[in-house]
Structure 1
Amino acid sequence: ATCPDHWTTMGDYCYRVFTDKSSWEEAELKCMEHGYRGHLATVNSAEDQDILDGFLVYMLGERGDTGFFWMDLSNQEDESTFKFSN
């Protein structure tokens, strides 16, 4: 994948870590605003999970950060069920 500036290619996808605190909705909007077809990370397979794990270890470990992060899993439609939005 060819990624926009400040994004990192991992497998077939582009990833970026934003370090400011935000709600799930704010984080999703920030992804959309900062990249072509930007979206919170979605895990569709074990391979996607491995790629995302590696990226987070690399990016967050480099900063010494062990904080929390948002991904595209939410209970926005039904509070009793978490779903990916795509």
Structure 2
Amino acid sequence: SPRNYPGYCNPEVDAMILEQSRTRDPAKRLQLVHEIDKRLQEEGARPIMGWRLDYFAMWPYVKNLVPHQSIYNYGRMQEVWLDK
């Protein structure tokens, strides 16, 4: 992915990602996503330091911007708008 900034590479995780994207059963897919997430956290694939949702601030005219657990999840803003 072009957003793989730290250059993380693990063929096993890549295979898990492909498997979950091909899985139709929602319960099985959720299980795979949890396994992938756990593996990425254990291996420190993308450490996030100093990011807290309870200190989130924005101008009151910014609408539909939903805070996320990761600063890296703010790349897509097609639903955000300014009321001014």
Q: TM-score when scaled to structure 2?
A: 0.31
Q: Kindly indicate which of the two structures has a greater share of residues assigned to helix.
A: 2
Q: Kindly indicate which of the two structures has a greater share of residues assigned to strand.
A: 1
Q: TM-score when scaled to structure 1?
A: 0.30
User: Which structure has the larger Rg over C-alpha atoms?
Assistant: 2
